[in-house]
Amino acid sequence: MPEAMERLLKDWCRSILTGKKGKKGKIGETKMAIIIEGKIVAFLILALAFVLFYLFMYLAKTGYEISARTFPAVTALPEAVGRAAEMGKPVYYTTGLGMGTLNNPLQGPQTLAGISILGHVTRLCVRAGVNIAYFTPIADSLPVVEETMRTAYLAEGKPEEFDPNMIFFQEGQSPYLTASLGYLQREKPASTILLGGFYYESVVLGEAGNTIGAMQIGGSANTHQLPFLVATCDYTLIMEELYAASAEIAGDPDVLGTLKGEDILKAIIMVITIVGFLLGAVGITTIAEILGM
């Protein structure tokens, strides 16, 4: 092979694998890469995450017990439903705007976590004979919501009592808020549950719930809305607690296995960070250099 062709081929292979530009040749200047320079550690962490997730999902399915700690907001759910039963009033439930779709990578998981908890709350309402109203502006979540609530009624032996009209859909944030506020003022539910991906509707609904004296349980992974939920709700699920609470309630081995794997991965990263900080304080930058690869 001519020397020029051999050098060009090596440059091309290096650019594909690492993203580094070759010294000569247009092919060596390609930006396409399998592992981009500076992202090797990120790639290894991603691979480790997949290994941990698969391992604990497999263990959970084979009988390995994975437990999640109980949150005060979760233990308060029966209290919220019981309060509604005592007062003869309904329960208001919503998962927030969630950018109006389940396909959003940041908001979709929050909506699904809220819907998972909705199934649990619906079962509690069926047992107590309490009406529950679910409000959402997310069109593609409606089949999931309806099936979740229908399954809850079936699980409690009362499938004939399920009514799709207890699910209220309003397209857009303003119509959704207007309908919710109207319902809160007319029906004055004893409890409101706000769990999902929220935007400014969190403070509006939270204040509306306080105005009617409702017991309120909230939760979101949106940091810009958490202060409003903490200020207006009696109990709040903060950030990842929303997902952990959903996993605890669902009891699904895949979800619990993923949760366990995520916790171990976070512990590993924290240990590496602390060790790197301590070594860096005495002038040893080896870990920092490795993390920069």
| Number of alpha helices (DSSP H) and beta strands (DSSP E) in the chain | 12, 6
- Same domain assignment for residues 155 and 166: yes
CA dist 48 → 39, 52, 55, 96, 196 (Å): 14, 6, 10, 33, 28
* Average pLDDT of every residue of the chain: 84
Give the pLDDT score at 245: 87
- Same domain assignment for residues 77 and 91: yes
Instruction: Assign residue 164 the CATH number of its domain.
Output: 3.40.50.720
What is the average per-residue pLDDT within 179-184?
94
281 and 275 in contact (C-beta within 8 Å)? no
Q: Which two tokens stand for residue 175?
A: 């119509």
- Same domain assignment for residues 86 and 180: yes
Give the pLDDT score at 33: 55
| pTM, rounded to two decimals | 0.77
- Same domain assignment for residues 194 and 291: no
Give the pLDDT score at 204: 92
pLDDT value at 292 more than 70: no
The phi-psi region of residue 64 (left if phi > 0; otherwise alpha if psi is between -120 and 50; otherwise beta) is beta
> pLDDT tens for residues 206-250?
999 999 999 999 999 999 999 999 999 999 999 888 888 888 887
Task: Report d(CA 235, CA 238) in Å as an integer.
Answer: 10
- Same domain assignment for residues 110 and 241: yes
